[in-house]
Every structure is written in C-alpha cells, then in structure tokens.
C-alpha cells in the first residue's frame, strides 16, 4: 500500500465497521469458516513458503503454523455462540431488584503486527480472535519472511474484502509509524522483541490506543536433581531447537543442579543427534536462521563461553548447528539478551536460593520451565518467580493448549490470548444494569438526614 493512500484506505475499514456488518454471530462464523477453508486450500503453498523463509519441513510447518491456526479456528467455532451471549451477573443489595448484565462489544479496527519466526501462525491466530470478536483488521506481516507474506497476502485478498481485512506490507520501521499518523486504530496487537514493543507502546500511548504486547525474554529452564534426565533432555532439545531456536518461548538457558550436570548433558547431546543427526546442516528436521543480520548476531555470542557441543556455522547457508555453551559469564551479552537462536548456555547451582538469584537477574521471563518430581519444589518456584506461562516437566507445549491464556508479564508482555482469551482481548466488557420502575423506595432520595444508620446496614 502506498503510504500516501493510507488515510483513505484505512478509513474504509472504519466505515465498514460502522455499518454493523461484523456484529452478528452468523457473519463471524462465516468468516472463520472462510479463513479455515483458505488455509487448507493453500496449505502446500504455505509450507513451501515456510521452507523458503526458514527451511521448515512440511511436518514442522503444520505442527507449528497451519495446524495451530486450524485448531484455533475449530475451537473458536465450537464456543463462539456461547461466548457472545450476554453474561448475567449478581446484583448487590443496594440495587435490587435490578438485573445486571455484561455484554462483549467489538473494539473496531485492530492492527495485528507479526514477527518473522512463525510468520503465518502469529499473524493469523490473533486474526481468528479479531474476527471472533466482530472487528475489522489490518495485518502487518514481517518483511523478513517475504515468501510467507506473499502467500498470506494472497489468502487474505481472495477471502475477504479489503474494507474488512487487509494486509499492509513493507518495512515495519516505516509503515507502522505511517499508519499511526494516518489513522487511529482501536487496538494494537504486537508480537516481537521487547525493544520494538516499547516503541509500539509509546506510539500507541500518544493516541490512548490499548495494546496487547507479546514479547520475549530470557526464559529459564531449571533441572533439579530428582528430574527424569532422559525425558528432560528430549523435551528440552525439542523446545530449544525447533525452528532453529527462533521461538520466543524456547528455553533460553539451562540452570542445572551441579550433581546431575554431566549425566544430563550426555542425554541432551544424544537427544540432539537423534532428532537432527550428527550432521544437522543436511538434516530434514533442522531449519536455518532467517537472515544474515540475525546470523551475525548469534555467531557473535559464540565467544562468550566454552563450546562443549556444536558451534558449527555457515553464513552462506544461514546455518548454525545446535550448540551448548558452558562456563558462561553471567555479565556477558549472551546472558543479558534473549538469544533467539540455537545456542544453549549452561549454568549450575547447588541450592535453590542460588538458583532463584540467578533467575532473578533476568526478571519476568515470558516462559519458565522446571524439571522435577517434587510438588514442593514446583510450588516454591511457581510462587516465587513471576513469569508469563510455563511447564513442569515439559517445554513450549503449553502454547498449544487453547484453554490456557498465553502472554507475558512486565518486560515480557502485556495482555494474553488463545481461545476464549483471544475473544476477550478483541472485545470490551460493557456493563448494563436494568432497573424496574415498580419498586422505587424513598430511602434513595433526599432528604437524607437521619438515614445514616440505614445506609450503613445496606451498604457494606
């Protein structure tokens, strides 16, 4: 879209929303079914594009992108009618016999900004919530995954009128400020880095636009001495090296009880080689880094500790092998910045207090993982460490559960989505109290003198 035409083009979405066309259950259901059909129709093209952009196999592409979008649509379709019904709530004694109801209103025209790591899923999954909520939407895909953006743009153009849902392409640093200048959105949903999230938040604040920020952070993975080390190794390997580590909820670093470190690392190396072979550069299962800028950033971290496994890289192929780094300086950039790649630093601890102090050096992570069979240890960690969401004896799979809200806390994000939580994110609670006229006690009206004791009895 030419930035000069942005005001008029974006205004068309606002005009369409104001017609009320998006409000009915029938309309929302029809659009969700249309989106599902389009994703299924273009599944092969989507998977081919994801291979071009990130070297994802069709299986990984389905499990982490198209399949999750279809699953989300199915879940929303099964529950949308119930979610849309006004909710009758209790009424306090002061207002009896009134009737109190909460309605869920659409927000209007929303902007969804997606990152490069899951360029289809993280664009369309929020869109499902926006459609379910009765909104119009503008989609801003990542400029770093051009093949996927082309296919997604094709799907949106063929499925929806541009006055309802449209894609705006281009460099985010140029296009997003231009859209903010041209139009006031009713909500902004951003997934990406904390650095850019702060910029989005600041720009939105100038117009009092509400935001949902799905950011990142250094998600710790704790391995207690009572953990099942072989199972932990497999689940950590898949959580860390899926999508070549370019996953916001991937374990960012390991914090291992000293007594089990060597045994665990042996299991971890075995799991990596079973999943990706001893030559991951030619593995069907292993992807690539998105571009040279990210590659250079990641390879710069290789000097920040002792490489005890992996470390191979090829800039021409954008390849970095699964890498385990020991003897890491906690003051290095490797331990201060979200890694977002296939490098896994290893730290050790001897007691829980020491471990908690290490985790608190990078507070409010997006995800938190603990491997232990102790309910007491799990309870202590969960109660002591603020984090967005996480797993006990698993990694990353909580993201796929539509019954759980997904989101960060503090530096790792603001707001949540998935399933019903997406519906709530893209709607606003509107409270209405209806009072009958047949009961109108004089106590509520002046003169009030002498009614204090009665007020204290009623209002409590």
Q: Which residues are catalytic?
A: 214, 248
In 288-374, where does DSSP find H-type helix?
292-300, 352-359
Q: How far is CA 344 from the centre of its chain?
A: 22
For 328-460, strand residue ranges (E) read 343-349, 367-371, 389-392, 406-407, 413-414, 416-417, 427-434
> What is the number of H-type helices and E-type strands within the chain?
16, 20
Q: Which residues contact 77 (CB under 8 A, 6 or more apart)?
A: 29, 32, 33
CB 104 within 8 A of CB 132: no
CB 73 within 8 A of CB 159: no
Q: How far is CA 359 from the centre of its chain?
A: 21
Q: Residue 134 — left, alpha, or beta (φ > 0 → left; ψ -120 to 50 → alpha)?
A: left
List the one residue out of 143, 130, 145, 142 whose CA is nearest residue 185.
Answer: 130
Q: Say how many CA atoms lie within 13 Å of 362 toward its Cβ.
A: 26
Calculate the alpha carbon distances from 341 to 99, 142, 345, 349, 457 in Å. 54, 18, 11, 24, 62
CB 289 within 8 A of CB 319: yes
DSSP, collapsed to helix, strand or coil, labels residue 271 as: helix
Residue 364 is given by DSSP the state S
DSSP of 55-106, one letter per residue?
---HHHHIIIIIHHHHHHHHHHHHHHHHHHSPEEE---GGGTT-EEEEEEEE
Encoding tokens for residue 141? 């895909």
Rounded to a whole number of angstroms, the distance between the first and last alpha carbons of the chain is 58
């Amino acid at each position: 879209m030419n930035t000069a035409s942005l005001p008029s083009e974006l205004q068309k979405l606002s005009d369409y929303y104001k017609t009320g066309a998006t409000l009915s259950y029938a309309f929302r259901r029809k659009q969700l079914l249309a989106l599902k059909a389009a994703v299924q129709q273009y599944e092969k093209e989507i998977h081919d594009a994801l291979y071009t952009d990130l070297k994802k196999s069709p299986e990984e592409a389905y499990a982490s992108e198209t399949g999750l979008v279809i699953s989300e649509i199915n879940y929303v379709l099964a529950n949308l009618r119930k979610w849309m019904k006004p909710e009758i709530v209790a009424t306090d004694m002061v207002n009896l016999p009134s009737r109190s109801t909460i309605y869920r209103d659409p927000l209007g025209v929303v902007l969804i900004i997606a990152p490069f790591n899951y360029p289809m899923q993280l664009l369309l999954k929020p869109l499902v919530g926006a459609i379910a909520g009765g909104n119009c939407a503008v989609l801003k895909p990542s400029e770093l995954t051009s093949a996927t953006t082309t296919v997604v743009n094709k799907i949106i153009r063929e499925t929806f009128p541009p006055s309802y849902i449209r894609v705006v392409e281009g460099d985010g640093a140029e296009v997003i400020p231009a859209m903010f200048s041209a139009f006031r959105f009713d909500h902004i949903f951003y997934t990406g880095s904390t650095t850019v999230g702060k910029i989005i938040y600041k720009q939105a604040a100038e117009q009092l636009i509400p935001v949902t920020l799905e950011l990142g952070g250094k998600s710790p993975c704790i391995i207690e001495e009572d953990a099942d080390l072989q199972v932990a190794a497999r689940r950590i390997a898949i959580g860390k090296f899926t999508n070549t580590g370019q996953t916001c909820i991937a374990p960012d670093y390991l914090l291992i009880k000293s007594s089990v470190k060597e045994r665990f690392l042996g299991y971890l190396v075995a799991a990596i080689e079973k999943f990706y072979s001893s030559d991951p550069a030619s593995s069907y299962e292993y992807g690539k880094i998105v571009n040279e800028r990210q590659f250079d950033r990641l390879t710069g971290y290789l000097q920040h500790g002792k490489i005890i496994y992996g470390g191979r890289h090829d800039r021409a192929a954008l390849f970095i092998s699964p890498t385990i780094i020991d003897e890491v300086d906690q003051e290095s950039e490797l331990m201060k910045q979200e890694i977002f790649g296939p490098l896994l630093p290893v730290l050790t601890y001897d007691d829980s207090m020491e471990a908690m102090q290490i985790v608190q050096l990078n507070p409010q992570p997006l995800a938190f993982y603990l491997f232990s069979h102790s309910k007491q240890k799990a309870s202590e960690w969960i109660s002591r460490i603020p984090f967005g969401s996480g797993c006990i004896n698993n990694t990353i799979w909580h993201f796929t559960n539509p019954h759980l809200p997904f989101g960060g806390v503090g530096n790792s994000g603001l707001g949540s989505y998935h399933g019903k939580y997406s519906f709530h994110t893209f709607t606003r609670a509107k409270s209405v109290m209806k009072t009958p006229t047949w009961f109108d006690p004089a106590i509520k009206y002046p003169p009030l003198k002498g009614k204090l004791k009665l007020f204290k009895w009623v209002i409590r």
